[in-house]
Structure formats: C-alpha cells, structure tokens
Structure 1
Amino acid sequence: MAQVLTDPGLRPAPHAVVVSSIRSVAQRVVELTLEPIGADPLPDWSPGAHVDVELPGGLIRSYSLCGDPADRQWRLAVLREDDSRGGSAYVHERLVVGQTLSVTTPVNRFPLVTAERYVFVAGGIGVTAILPMVVQACRAEIPWRLVYLGRSRSEMAYADRLEAFGDSVQLWPKDSHGPADLDALVGLDRAAAVYCCGPTRMIEQIERIGAAAGMPVHREFFHNEASIEGDEFEVELDRTGITVTVGAGQTIVDALEQAGVDVVTSCREGTCGTCETYVLEGVPDHRDRVLTPSERESNESMMICCSRSRTPLLVLDL
C-alpha cells in the first residue's frame, strides 16, 4: 500500500508530552493538562491557538488550548461527543494520567486582534477557544463581556470560573432560559470586536448581526455542514505521479484512501486545517471553514477532506 502524508511543510512539528492530570470540568467534558517530557519547555502560544493530538490507533484530533498562555503547561478540554468517531471516546474512557502523547506545535487561525472592546460569544465547547482571550483581555485591561450559551448549566464547561467575573459574563443555559435572543444579547457596539466560537447556526447569526451593525466578527467553527456534491474530477499526486478519480459526492480524502493512499486528517469536515495541502495546478472549490477569503483567492492550498475542484484536474503536492 502506498502511504502519503499531507505535505510536511504544512504540518506543525510534533512534541512529546505527558498527561499530568485529567479532571471533569462539566458533564461530558474533561480537561487534560499536558506537560513536556524532559527539560525543554513547550512552545509559546497565543489565544485562539489549537493543537493536533495523535491518539493510539492513528487517530488525530484538533483541540483548542484553553489555559493561560503564560503557563508552562498546556490545557485542553474534550467533549464526549454523542457520535464520536473514536477520539473523544478514547479520551474519556481510556486515556490515563502518565500516558505520553504526540502533540503538534500550536497553530493559530483565530488570533485575538487589538480592539477598544471585545464581545465574546461561546456556544458549548466553543468556550475553550474563548477562555484564553478573556485572560488576555483582563491582562491588557481591555473592556470585554462574554455571552456563553449551552444546553444546560451542568454541561457548560468552566461555568463556575466564568461566573466569578460577575456582570462581564452572561450564562445562557437553554433548558432554564429558553432560546437565546442573540440580537439582544450581543447588542450594538461598533467599537467592539466580536469573537465567536460554537455551532454553525449560532456563528452565522452572529455574522448577520455584525454585518448589520458594522461590527467586525472573528469566528471559529467546530462543525461544517458544507455539501461535498459536485462533478467528477481528477487529482494527480505530484510526488508519486499517481492519478485518482474523485467521484461525485466523494471527498478527495476518501478517493485517495480508496486508492491505497493514506493521508493525515482529523475533523474530515473542513474545520481544523490538519489536511491542508499545497495546490500546484488547477483551481480548488473551497468548502472549508478554515481559510480566510484572501487565502481562498490565492488558491495556494486547500482542505482535501471537504473541498472539491473547479477544474477537471488538480495537481497536489503529495
């Protein structure tokens, strides 16, 4: 079987870490503390960064770093997904303190820009990306407020910690508060930068609110509902000369795996960036939630787990 990984130039370097603690931070959510093996410290990171964690069996999963960037430890919070493909189930059921893992250098596609004020909106486990931003805003003495939505308070990770910020935080568990009126909760503040992470529908509503109010919206999705339907096309792997047909309704990753080519993937729906691959020829049909508009326009790379092609042939740096 041929084995081809996504381009190493796009893959962050791995680091060996040890799991020093595992604790519950909400119903169905556990926090992992990771420490370096040896004397060398873990790389620095900034709010909004995520890492890829390699789990036994070849599973790779992306998680936001949710601790304080000033700490020498890395903290991740993992939700036990109802429809787990193996990653969250392993973390909740089999991972143990003292276990070693391979974790990539942090990558930040959701950086916190300087602003006069911040409005943070978190939905469910999306709060993990927002927590370090709250820490940084406090440290920089920049005014902020957070709207945190969840199904129930017992499932809202770090709710007690966030409530300690008083009026700056509004928790909105749906089971006790009903559906959230995001227009009212987010409000109108053109001097504020809005940061949101959570379900697709929530983020799309925040984007509409921001566009109408002239408020810049920065967002990170953890699900992508884009269709993979489209016309059949060919993918040529430049390094090996292999050409694979990608059928209608088939992803590039699925077609490559069917042809015996292994690729590094994680989310498989275009939200994490793990499968980002350089494009040498052809025009991608970008359907991910990772690349910025300018990155899409450049067509230099694509997410092969969900995106397709606008041309009959794509040549990839694989």
Structure 2
Amino acid sequence: MSGTPLSLIVEVKARHEEAQDIVTLELADPHGRPLPAFSAGAHIDVQVKPGVVRQYSLCNHPEERDRYLIGVLRDPTSRGGSVAMHEEIREGDLVQISAPKNHFALKPAGRTLLLAGGIGITPLLCMAERLAHLEADFALHYCTRSAERTAFRKRIAASGFAERVHFHFDDGAPEQKLDLKALLATPAPDTRVYVCGPTGFIDAVLSTAKASGWPGERLHTEYFAGAVADTSDDDSFEVRIASSGASFTVPADKTVHQVLTENGIEVMVSCEQGVCGTCLTRVLEGEPDHRDLYLDDDEHAANDQFTPCCSRARSKVLVLDL
C-alpha cells in the first residue's frame, strides 16, 4: 500500500481468544516507552504482511499509554487481512502500525446511544469506557449472532458500566432481540447515536433513525468494509493533475488510484474500499461518482473531494488538486 504512514514498531505482547472467530492482540512498544495518545473511536493501520494493511479500532481505555488493544474477526470473505492476523501473527512478533487516527470521535451530548453489531463493538467499547469515566449518560446495545460469538463479555461484566449494556443475540428469545423501531421511535433532544458493525446493520440503524426523524448530524457511523458497487455500467473518464496539467485515462476496469500509481503519482491509500478516508483528494473541477462510506451526504453533495481508491467520475473529466 504505497504511502501508508506506518511510523511505529510494536510488539505483540499478548494474544487472546475472545470469542468464536475473534482474537484480541495487545500491542506495546518493545522498549516499554509510552505509545502516542488516542481518543475514543480511534483506529490504527496495521501492516498484516507486506502489501497488506488493514484498519483496526482501539478498544482499550483511551487514557492508557502503555498498550493498544485491537480485536480481529476472522472473516471468511477476507482479502488476506483477518485470516493472516488469526493464523500468522503471534505473541512476540514485531508489527508495523500507524499512529492512531480518529474519524469517529465522540462529541458532546446530553445522552449517547451506542449500537454495536458484531466486531463493531471495538470502538464503541472504548467509547463506553470514556463515557463511564466522565459519568455521562449512555447506553450500549450489543448485537451478535450468539453468546459464543460475543467478545468482551467478561470485561463488560466486570466493568462499572455493566448495567448500561444490553446484549441482543440472533439465536436468543424474541423478546431480547433489539427493537430498533422502539429504541429510535422518538428523536430525543441532545442525544447522539453511534453505530458500528456490518454494512447491513449500520444501514438498518440509519434508515430506522431517519424514518423516525432523527437529524443526520446526530447519527455517527463507522463502517468496517466498503459496499459492493455495481460496476456493470462503468465507463472510462479522464483525470487531470492541476499542478502539471497532465491528463490520464481511467479505464472501466481500473481505479483512479491505480492509474495515478502507474504514472508515478503517489496518493496515500490504506483500506482501498472507501472506508478509512486516507486517500481523500480535493476535486477542483468535475463531478465525482462517490462510492465511499467515509464522507457524509452533505460532503458528497459538495463534490469538492473524493476517494480515488474506489470512487469514479460522473463527468468526463475530473481535475484533481495534486
């Protein structure tokens, strides 16, 4: 992944099986030095192996400086990241990572609703730790397939906020399953909603909330994977580099990032799915065809930036601020 700023070397100090198909890795400086500070909702880039970089949310208490804790789901549709993390990374290994980045930060609110689907618990658990520390009003709803696939149950049970956590299992009794319509029926004043998990789970939460009148600025999301785009109607278009005037054709079967790389123009990328925002690039002219899950609706409508790892163009030419 060209350009990904993997500036830190950490050691895998511990590895635990948290639940079925979920492991946690505890990362620390090999020499015991403090790690860069992070805030609730932050993530790091991890070089799983050469050429494979993935993003993982930090799920330990945000005031800790001696370690980073990440949770990894073994994804059967993995493109090489999660399977390698499960099968190849062991205690004592040295791993390259980035400094923490946060595109999913907590904002002040009178009350906070945290909605986690599966491994989406990782950033929300860190948020729960922070909110509990601040003695803030919040509730965490944690949805999984089954109790066996529910990570961090012991940690939550031992926490000071256990009574604020509600578990919902797909294979459980009907009455314990999450009723989104009831939970989000009334847009409560001064309440913010944070949701993380599979795309389908996030979409269900957002559509239910919006149907009930929740304003978009109080709904906060973080996706772990990009949506599968329909590429059947993709066509070629031109990208022009503002600084040099150079113009390149982007064919239907290549991304903007791939074409730029082939022509010696480096743009930082990481997830390559329009999730992390690493490759965000300013657009000076033209209309992007947005396919990311990073920018919100208003940012898409502005058409002044896009993600060249996955987004394309509606206009014949895009002029990029490169």
Q: Same fold (TM over 0.5)?
A: yes
Alignment match, 2:226: 224
Alignment match, 2:192: 193
Matches within 5 A, 1:75-86: 75-86=69-80
Q: Are 2:59 and 2:71, in contact at CA under 8 Å, matched by a contact in 1?
A: yes
Q: What secondary structure does 2:139 align onto?
A: strand
Matches within 5 A, 1:19-58: 19-38=12-31, 40-58=33-51
- Percent identical residues: 38
Which amino acid in structure 1 is aligned with residue 55 of structure 2?
S
Q: CA separation of 1:166/1:131 partners in 2, compared to 1, >3 Å: closer, same or farther?
A: closer
RMSD after superposition = 2.8
**C-alpha distance in 1 between matches for 2:203 and 2:321:** 33
- Following superposition, the deviation at residue 175 of structure 1 comes to 1.7
- Following superposition, the deviation at residue 206 of structure 1 comes to 1.7
Matched, 1:276 2:280: yes
Q: CA separation of 1:225/1:13 partners in 2, compared to 1, >3 Å: closer, same or farther?
A: closer
Q: Are 1:121 and 1:147, in contact at CA under 8 Å, matched by a contact in 2?
A: yes
**C-alpha distance in 1 between matches for 2:73 and 2:43:** 15
Q: What does the per-residue CA deviation read over 1:217-275, in whole Å, with 9 as the maximum and x for residues that have no partner?
A: 11111233252533321224567876442233643245556778786544332112233
**C-alpha distance in 2 between matches for 1:77 and 1:52:** 13
* Range that drifts further, 268-277 or 67-76: 268-277
Relative contact order, CA 8 A, sep 6+: which one is greater?
Answer: 1
Q: What secondary structure does 1:175 align onto?
A: coil
Q: CA separation of 1:260/1:49 partners in 2, compared to 1, >3 Å: closer, same or farther?
A: same
**C-alpha distance in 1 between matches for 2:184 and 2:153:** 19
- Following superposition, the deviation at residue 103 of structure 1 comes to 1.1
Matched, 1:311 2:315: yes
**C-alpha distance in 2 between matches for 1:203 and 1:166:** 23
Alignment match, 2:98: 104
Q: CA separation of 1:55/1:200 partners in 2, compared to 1, >3 Å: closer, same or farther?
A: closer
Q: How many correspondences in the alignment?
A: 311
Alignment match, 1:172: 168
Matches within 5 A, 1:136-285: 136-164=130-158, 165-177=161-173, 180-186=178-184, 188=186, 190-191=188-189, 192-211=191-210, 212-214=212-214, 216-225=218-227, 227=229, 229=231, 230-236=234-240, 243-248=247-252, 250-255=254-259, 265-285=269-289
Q: What secondary structure does 1:137 align onto?
A: helix
**C-alpha distance in 1 between matches for 2:299 and 2:259:** 25
* Range that drifts further, 275-284 or 202-211: 275-284
Q: What secondary structure does 1:83 align onto?
A: coil
Q: CA separation of 1:27/1:263 partners in 2, compared to 1, >3 Å: closer, same or farther?
A: farther
Q: What secondary structure does 1:136 align onto?
A: helix
**C-alpha distance in 2 between matches for 1:187 and 1:161:** 30
Q: Are 1:287 and 1:306, in contact at CA under 8 Å, matched by a contact in 2?
A: yes
Matched, 1:88 2:90: no
